[in-house]
Amino acid sequence: MTELDPVLMSRLLTALTLVFHVIFATLGVGVPLMISIAEFIGIKKNDPHYLMMARRWTRGFVIPVAIGVVTGTAIGLQLSLLWPEFMQVAGNVISLPLFMEVFAFFFEAIFLGIYLYTWDRFKKPMMHWWLSLPIIIGGGLSAVFITSVNAFMNTPEGFTTGAGGFATVNPLDAMFNPATPTKVFHVLASAYLTVAAILAAIAAFSMLRKKHTEYHKKALKLTITLTFIFSILTAIAGDVSAKFLAEHQPEKLAAAEWHFETEEGADLVLFGWLGDENTPAGALRFPGLLSFLAYGDFQSEVTGLEEFPEDERPPLWIHYMFDLMVVIGFFLLGVSLLYILAWKIKRWNEHNKWMLWLLVVSGPLAMLAIEFGWIFAEEGRQPWILRGYMLVEDAATTSPYVGWMFLLFLGLYTVLGVLGVAVLRKLFKNNPAEEELEKKYPTIEKGDNK
């Protein structure tokens, strides 16, 4: 194990930490918005169901937040421990958003602490709701700043190099590099989408397991509406991201689409496999659609992989990551639309078993799409850590112990994951929403069970 190449092991350990961390980072960005919306509706409508929703989501939120803080600290340190040469460069140019991210998180952490522990300490309930805003803003800004660092790795700008280092540096240009706007839009929209879908999945699952109570129906209606809205926004974000790639990072789009030769009216290739001499086989082909995706015109010319030297091309398997992400995105849009139609058309029962099962699988699928999307984004940048400037293999630590650290962190994340799930189960298993509602709000109308 210790004999393994430090570059490979550094990549694996970073991947391990990020695959684990992104789950909690996504929840950390998205859940506060859902809690805040539920609490707001609850206060305005004076409806204990929504207030209870906000309370229960908050209670569950504490666990992933803690894991997110821990894994976030881990990745923060691992960047320097595993990629010292990269951070040496990054420190000069792109440390501004990293620094700002810590501020944003600081802000979020302070108000999260206050929000969690002050449910009944204010006379006016709206006072408590106001405290949720800094959490949403802090979490959202954290995502913005960190994403801008990742964007910088894809399209580094804002500096010029001279003899022996950087000649000029413009931290703001580095932060607002060409990849930042589309990436930030995509990350935020998909985080809110994913969290809405997961909360919907939980409500749907409870309805399948037990009775169809008013609480879960309201939770489902709220979260599916949000899923629908954010899946449209995510689709738009995906579209502008593709247009960005076509313009600024064409090799990534070409590898994702198995698009080898530069041509006009390029086809969109869905799934399939690569035959001899890289000819896609067994794929669904949509004539001209890649050109449309890339430039909004079915006839436009899309750059192919052939234009890049072989050792600067991303691995071709990212095609599957890209396709899976996109397919899941449209699946979420379709399922949420179906539910809303069934809900509005009176003759249909939106809470039939099949509909609920579709919603249950939507939650985990949404999180998988986040993972696929990030794997696509990171692998699609290979072999660069800073596109055009620094190769991944030149940036890694030379320490021979990375293999052992990989095992150590694998153990840590396994324990954290298992304990996290166990604690969440314990928190909610013997504590159904209906009982808690009656305890907390004895005046609530009985008989809302169907």
Partner 1 sequence: MSYEIIGITVLWIFLYGYLIVASVDFGAGFFAYYAKVTKKDHIMNQLISRYLSPVWEVTNVFFVFFFVGIVGFFPDSAYYYGTALLVPGSIAIILLAIRGSFYAFENYGSKKSNVYMFLYGATGLLIPASLSIALTLSEGGFILEENGVVSLDYLALFTSPYSWSVVVLAVVSVLFISAAFLTFYAARANDQAALKLVRKYALFWATPTIIAALTTFIALGQHNERHYQNMFDLWWMFGLSVGFFIIAMWLIYEGKRFGLAFISVMLQFFFAFFGYGASHLPYILDPYVTIYENATHEATGIALIVVFILGLFLLIPSLILLMRLFLFDADYVKGKK
Tell me the helix, strand and coil percentages in the chain, rounded to 5.
70, 5, 20
Considering only residues 125 to 144 of the shown chain, the ones binding partner 1 according to CB under 8 A are 134
Residue range at the interface with partner 1 (CB under 8 A); choices 81-89, 178-186, 234-242, 335-343: 81-89
Q: Which long-range contacts link 45-51 to residues 24+ away (Cβ below 8 Å)? A: 47/218, 48/437, 48/440, 48/441, 48/444, 49/214, 49/215, 49/218, 49/219, 49/437, 50/218, 50/222
Rounded to the nearest 10°, the torsion over CA 150, 155, 158, 164 is 90
x-or-dash string of contact with partner 1, 366-405, rule CB under 8 A: -------------------------------xxx-xx-xx
Whose Cβ is closer to partner 1: residue 317's or residue 389's? 389
- Dist CA 351 CA 450 (whole Å): 12
Token pair in block for residue 424: 């969440």
With b for 16 or more beta-carbon neighbours within 10 A and e for fewer, the 138-169 pattern comes to bbbbbbbbbbbbbbbbbbbbbbeeeeeeeeeb
Q: In the complex with partner 1, which residue's Cβ is closer, 20 or 258?
A: 20
Q: Smallest distance, Å, CB 146 to partner 1?
A: 11
Contact range with partner 1 by CB under 8 A, out of 86-94, 183-191, 321-329, 362-370: 86-94
Q: Is 364 an interacting residue with respect to partner 1 (CB under 8 A)?
A: no
- The distance of closest approach from Cβ of residue 40 to partner 1 in the complex, given in angstroms and rounded to an integer, is 21
Give yes or no for residue 327 binding partner 1 (CB under 8 A): no
Minimum CB distance to partner 1, residue 441 (Å): 20
Shortest distance in whole angstroms from residue 92 CB to partner 1: 5
Q: How far is the CB of 369 from partner 1 (least distance, A)?
A: 27
Query: What residues between 32 and 71 interact with partner 1 by CB under 8 A?
Result: 62-63, 65-67, 69-71
Considering only residues 329-358, where is the footprint of partner 1 by CB under 8 A? none
Nearer to partner 1, 420 or 432 (CB): 420
Decide if residue 19 touches partner 1 (CB under 8 A): no
According to the binding rule CB under 8 A, does residue 16 interact with partner 1? no
Residue numbers 399-418 binding partner 1 by CB under 8 A: 399, 401-402, 404-405, 408-409, 412, 416
- Is 28 a binding residue for partner 1 by CB under 8 A? The answer is no
DSSP states along 162-224 = ETTEEEEE-HHHHHT-TTHHHHHHHHHHHHHHHHHHHHHHHHHHHHHHS--BHHHHHHHHHHH
Contact 191, 26 (CB under 8 A): yes
Tell me how far, at minimum, the Cβ of 186 lies from partner 1, in Å. Answer: 24
By CB under 8 A, what part of segment 148-177 binds partner 1? Answer: 159, 166, 168-172
Report the residue number, 31 or 93, with the smaller CB distance to partner 1: 93
Per CB under 8 A, the list member of 95, 225, 262, 300 interacting with partner 1 is 95
C-alpha 409/C-alpha 402 separation (Å) is 10
x/- letters, 102..121, toward partner 1 (CB under 8 A): xx-xxx-xxxxxx-xxx--x
Q: Which is nearer to partner 1, 69 or 235 (CB)?
A: 69
> What Rg value do the Cα atoms of the chain yield, rounded?
24
- Measured over the CA atoms of residue 58, residue 416, residue 72 and residue 227, the dihedral's sign is negative
The CA-based angle 332-254-263, given to 5 degrees, is: 115
Residue 433 binds to partner 1 (criterion: CB under 8 A) = no
Instruction: Look up residue 380 and give its amino acid.
Output: G
Interface residue with partner 1, options 16, 92, 243, 383 (CB under 8 A): 92
12 binds partner 1 (CB under 8 A): no
Q: Do you find a cis peptide bond into 400, omega within 30 degrees of 0?
A: no
Q: Does 4 bind partner 1 (CB under 8 A)?
A: no
Contact 39, 437 (CB under 8 A): no
Q: In angstroms, rounded to a whole number, what is the distance separating the alpha carbons of residues 194 and 55?
A: 20
